[in-house]
Amino acid sequence: MKAETAILGGLVVSSAGVLPATVVISGGRIVALSDPAERWPAEEVLDARGRIVLPGGLDPHVHFNEPGRTHWEGFETGSAAAAAGGVTTVIEMPLNAIPPTTDASAFALKLEAIGPRAFVDYALWGGLVTDNVDRLEGLERSGAVAYKAFMIATGTEYARADDGVLWEGMERIAGWNGLVGVHAENNDLAMRLQARLQRAGRRDMRAWGEARPPEVELEAIQRVLRMARATGCRLHIVHLSTPEGGALIAAARQRGQRVSVETCPHYLLLDEEAFARLGPVAKCAPPLRPRPAVEGLWRQVADGTIDCLSSDHSPCPPEDKARGVDDVWQAWGGISGVQTALPLMFSEGVRRRGLPLERLAALTSTNAAKIFGLYPRKGSLIPGADADVVILDPEREWTITAEWLRSRHRLSPFLGWRVTGWIERVLVRGRTVVRDGDLVGDPGYGTLLRRGPAAKGPHGSAMR
Ligand SMILES: [Zn+2]
């Protein structure tokens, strides 16, 4: 049999470890990882000598704001940025789209809008908000892979879920062994602290962190852990910013709870000093933390306490950042990061800190695929899986520039960073979408993914 594509000579990172192998692709899927000495006739041969071959990134937390706020991003530019950054699957959030994705009709509207625009594959979050508990089942039937709830006000039309709503939503979602993802910050505490700082005339960047100290996150994590345990619902904590929160989650797991957690590159690479220096472009919630917290998160990324990385890519027009320069409360809180996540984690994690390549693949692809029910189709370079592949040149040094970014608004707190490791080629289902760093895919090629049967581990899927 003649294969469509053979990737020769690379160091392949798979669940079997890191080994030289030929990746053989046919029909958009991986058909074999073969001994490099073996010859595979193929229509297209890709020379990956001296390169690292990784499973395509799976970013479980992006905001592309389609439909309704496409002047902020939109699926075409957002998924182009994903592809260029080695992310071959995104799971897109229900908020900042108008209407928010909180029922079956909004889900259908979103799918229609995305259809002709996606460069990479995608799954969709549904929302759990104040008034949609009775419509969650419709979202499930539509194909939502998880449900997002905010314990704190979002500042947009997306309603916060109070404790009663969270409880009822979790009861419902547990009924189909679904997953609730929570933005865990204590609303009352943060709003009170914010009002007090505002009364005192504070508008500087540091005030943002003072309004949302670690306790704001920790109390919310503790509370939602209890509610998820009581209702029997699988729980995913999004964008963890404090290692103490990771410890709470680890302790809950030890008691048998099904809970997973992600953090973002910005919590690992930036700290509160960087925020004070960079200004609104680095405003996010929870806020960037002091240096010891950052180091604590790195330990949890390395030791497996943290399951996966997400970008929480949440862009906005430049003016929505600019108005916060002299008044932090006025700036949009969100960081653009879908394109920079994988290169930065390779450079800062693998190269600088010695993070093993297997761990990088688990963090950027495999574990999220398992948590969100997309494994083994996505998340690993194994026979039978979709041929979503990143070919990375581990030695090439380059600088992150605005010109390289593909988002609608080329904002990033990482502009000017020197990076070792260049994303040379990206394949989605066997087709090259990025070549020599250039986008060559087509909008509309990306397809909707639905949740399959739960896979084993890491934390949450098929555990007790
Ligand atoms: Zn988010």
User: Ligand 1 centroid vs 93 CA: distance in angstroms?
Assistant: 7
On average, the pLDDT of the chain sits at 95
CATH architecture of residue range(s) 56-371: Alpha-Beta Barrel (3.20)
- What is the mean predicted confidence (pLDDT) over 197-213? 98
Helix H or strand E segment including 248: helix 243-254
Non-local (6+) Cβ contacts of 56 within 8 A are 86, 87, 88, 89, 120, 365, 378, 388, 389, 390, 426, 427, 428
Angle at 162 between CA 93 and CA 334, to 5 degrees: 35
Centre of ligand 1 from the C-alpha of residue 26, in Å: 36
| Cα–ligand 1 centroid distance for 22 (angstroms) | 37
Ligand 1: centre distance to CA 286 (Å): 10
Residue 463 predicted with pLDDT over 50 = no
Q: Please tell me whether residue 70 adopts helix, strand or coil conformation.
A: coil
Q: How big is the chain, counted in residues?
A: 464
Residue 34: strand pairing partners: 22
309 Cα: distance to centroid of ligand 1 (angstroms): 12
Compute the average pLDDT of residues 61-76: 96
Asked if residue 461 has pLDDT above 90, the reply is no
CB atoms within 10 A of CB 4: 17
Residue with tokens 């020599």: 436
**Quick one: which of 387, 339, 375 has its CA closest to 457?**
375
Return residue ranges of the chain for CATH 2.30.40.10: 3-53+382-439
C-alpha 241 to ligand 1 mean position (Å): 13
Q: Please name the residue that has the structure tokens 């549904």.
A: 126
Ligand 1 centre from 100 Cα, in Å?
A: 13
**CA of residue 34 to ligand 1 center, whole Å:** 39
Token pair, residue 323, equals: 């108005």
Handedness of CA 45, 55, 79, 267 (dihedral sign): negative
121-127 vs 87-92, strand pairing mode: parallel
C-alpha torsion 112→117→118→122, nearest 10: -20
Band of the pLDDT at 40, cuts 50, 70, 90?
confident
Ligand 1 center–CA 17 separation, angstroms: 32
Distance (Å) from CA 183 to ligand 1 centroid: 8
CA of 314 to the centre of ligand 1 (A): 6
381 alpha carbon – ligand 1 mean position (Å) = 28
Say how far residue 78 (Cα) sits from the centre of its chain.
Answer: 13
180 C-alpha to ligand 1 centroid (Å):
14
Confidence class for position 425, pLDDT limits 50, 70, 90: very high
Place of tokens 């030890």: 254
Output the CA 62–ligand 1 centroid distance in Å.
Answer: 6
The 8-class DSSP code of residue 55 comes to E
73 CA to centre of ligand 1 in angstroms? 14
Q: What pLDDT score was predicted for residue 464?
A: 27
Expressed in angstroms and rounded, the spacing between residue 263 Cα and the centre of ligand 1 is 11
Rounded to whole angstroms, how far apart are CA atoms 58 and 44? 25
The rounded Å distance from CA 365 to ligand 1 centre is 18
Q: What SS3 class is residue 195?
A: helix
Contact partners, residue 389, CB within 8 Å, separation at least 6? 7, 23, 25, 53, 54, 55, 56, 88, 381, 425, 426, 427
Q: Which residues are within 5 Å of ligand 1 (an ion), measured at CB?
A: 312
Q: How many CB atoms lie within 10 A of CB 251?
A: 12
Q: Kindly indicate the confidence band of residue 454, based on its pLDDT and cuts at 50, 70 and 90.
A: low
Say how far apart CA 260 and CA 394 lie, in whole Å. Answer: 30
* pLDDT score recorded for residue 135: 97
DSSP per-residue string spanning 326-358: S-GGGS---B--TTTHHHHIIIIIIIIH---HH
Amino acid found at 289: R
Summarize pLDDT for 110-136 with one digit per residue, the tens: 999 999 999 999 999 999 999 999 999
> Residue 312 C-alpha to ligand 1 middle, in angstroms?
5
Distance 150 CA to ligand 1 centre (A): 10
Whether the Cβ atoms of residue 345 and residue 265 lie closer than 8 Å to each other: yes
Where along the chain do the CATH 3.20.20.140 domains lie? 56-371
Taking the centre of ligand 1 as the mean of its atom positions, its distance from the CA of residue 303, in whole angstroms, is 24
Of 385, 411, 200, 202, nearest in space to 316 by CA:
411
CATH of 3-53+382-439, one of 2.30.40.10, 2.60.40.420, 3.40.50.300, 1.10.10.10: 2.30.40.10
- Taking every pair of Cα atoms in the chain, the longest distance, rounded to a whole number of angstroms, is 73
d(CA 126, CA 92): 9
CA of 114 to the centre of ligand 1 (A): 19
Distance from Cα 145 to the centre of ligand 1, integer Å: 16
What's the gap in Å between 356 CA and the centre of ligand 1? 27
For ligand 1, the distance from its centroid to the CA atom of residue 194, given in whole angstroms, is: 20
In the prediction, which pLDDT does 451 show?
Answer: 85
Task: Supply the angle between the helices 163-174 and 214-231 in degrees, to the nearest 10.
Answer: 40
Sign of the dihedral through C-alpha 16, 17, 21, 24: positive
Ligand 1 centroid to residue 313 C-alpha, Å: 7
Structural contact between residues 360 and 370, judged by C-beta atoms closer than 8 angstroms = no
Q: How far is CA 423 from CA 258, 304, 395, 411, in A?
A: 34, 25, 11, 20
Q: Report CA(221)–ligand 1 centroid distance (Å).
A: 16
**Residue 103 reports pLDDT greater than 70:** yes
**270-323 residue pLDDT tens:** 999 999 999 999 999 999 999 999 999 999 999 999 999 999 999 999 999 999
Residue 456 has a pLDDT of 55
User: How many angstroms is it from 74 CA to the middle of ligand 1?
Assistant: 15
Name every residue whose Cβ is closer than 8 Å to that of residue 392 and which is 6 or more positions away in sequence. 51, 52, 53, 54, 86, 346, 421, 422, 423, 424
pLDDT at residue 369 greater than cutoff 60: yes
pLDDT at 185 over 90: yes
247 CA to middle of ligand 1, Å? 22
User: What is the 50 CA–ligand 1 centroid distance (Å)?
Assistant: 36
Q: Which residues of 128-253 form beta strands (DSSP E)?
A: 146-150, 179-183, 234-237
Is 41's pLDDT higher than 70?
yes
CA distance 298 to 305: 10
Distance 310 CA to ligand 1 centre (A): 9
| Cα-to-centroid distance, 360 and ligand 1 (Å) | 22
Q: Give the H or E element holding residue 131.
A: none
Amino acid at 233: C
